[in-house]
């Protein structure tokens, strides 16, 4: 029998107005948004619904906002059953809550802290990220190696064939962008981010998060959660804890994770949360799978 995978989006999928229709139409959704505001001690729900965009785009707000929206949606599904799950960067925390390894309350506080620490690391060690479209991964690795003469730069998001993101210091990334253009990349674009995520420049965030993760109540997951770091399934609490720490400075091996899930029998991928980024990336892997997205009340009604 073909299996179902739930996948959860990460930073960059947010938009002003996200979740407002859910809040207005469902008591259960309203209770989640109100609970989140109460736990965090500020009106995250109104930032989701009304912005302003600059406020929603702050990493410390973006991460809990996307997490919350995804969790509300998955709780509004009737009998949400999946055989395996994963998420892109921040989305891995959402996947872990869905898989029962983290409680909602703990997951929310962790992603808020993670966002704050990443934003701080970006201020202390300024960096940037850039999307590179249309080059082989090996070429991107060579480019990063050459550009690292002028500053730190590494592959950060290995998203889909010919679609990757690099991350590091501003001089390192900009040098790599020049080299990518010289190698005839189809597109090279700097991203509007507050730091060099998934690079060595996130080390201070990693140290701060490690202390909290060590004290967090993490349990064994009830279904396999495919790790961004290894692109392999994880279920044991100890492994989850250590891989979440590693994740902050390691590349997100998204394409490999999708291929591993297909290999392990998944034929339907359901993206749960704002936007359509992951649906596009999954389709680009060329796997013969069914891809669905759930973002709004209307999407839920269609199901």
pLDDT at res. 286? 84
The model scores a pTM over 0.75: yes
Q: CA 45, CA 37: separation in Å to the nearest integer?
A: 7
pLDDT at res. 79? 86
Q: CA 127, CA 194: separation in Å to the nearest integer?
A: 8
pLDDT at res. 20? 98
Residue 141 tokens read as 């690795």
Mean pLDDT in runs of 10 for the chain (303 residues)?
A: 94 97 98 98 98 96 98 94 97 98 98 97 96 97 98 98 97 98 97 94 96 96 98 98 97 98 97 97 93 97 87
Nearest to 155 by CA among 165, 169, 145: 165
Indicate which residues carry an active-site annotation. Answer: 89, 198
**Residue 86 per-residue DSSP state:** E
pLDDT at res. 253? 98
106 alpha-carbon distance from chain centroid: 17
Q: 152 and 203 in contact (C-beta within 8 Å)?
A: no
SS3 content of the chain, % helix, strand, coil (to 5): 50, 15, 30
């Amino acid at each position: 029998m073909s299996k179902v995978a739930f996948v959860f989006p990460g930073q960059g999928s947010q938009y002003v107005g996200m979740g407002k229709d859910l809040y207005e139409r469902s008591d259960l959704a309203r209770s989640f948004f109100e609970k989140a505001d109460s736990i965090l001690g500020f009106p995250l729900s109104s930032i989701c619904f009304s912005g302003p965009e600059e406020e929603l785009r702050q990493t410390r707000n973006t991460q809990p906002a996307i997490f919350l929206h995804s969790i509300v949606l998955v709780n509004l599904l009737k009998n949400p059953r999946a055989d395996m799950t994963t998420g892109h960067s921040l989305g891995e925390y959402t996947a872990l809550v869905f898989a029962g390894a983290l409680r909602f309350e703990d997951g929310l506080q962790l992603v808020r802290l993670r966002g704050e620490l990443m934003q701080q690391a970006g201020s202390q060690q300024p960096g940037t990220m850039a999307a590179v479209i249309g080059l082989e991964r090996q070429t991107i690795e060579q480019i990063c190696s050459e550009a690292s003469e002028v500053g730190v730069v590494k592959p950060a998001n290995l998203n889909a064939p010919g679609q990757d993101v690099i991350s590091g210091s501003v001089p390192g990334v900009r040098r790599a962008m020049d080299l990518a253009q010289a190698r005839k990349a189809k597109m090279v674009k700097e991203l509007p981010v507050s730091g060099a995520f998934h690079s060595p420049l996130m080390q201070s965030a990693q140290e701060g998060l490690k202390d909290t993760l060590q004290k967090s109540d993490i349990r064994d997951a009830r279904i396999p959660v495919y790790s961004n770091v290894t692109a392999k399934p994880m279920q044991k609490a100890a492994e989850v804890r250590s891989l979440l720490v590693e994740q902050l400075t390691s590349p997100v091996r998204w394409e490999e994770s999708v291929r591993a899930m297909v290999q392990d029998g998944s034929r339907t991928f359901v993206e749960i949360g704002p936007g359509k980024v992951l649906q596009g990336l999954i389709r680009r892997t060329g796997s013969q799978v069914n891809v669905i997205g759930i973002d709004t009340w209307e999407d839920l009604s269609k199901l």
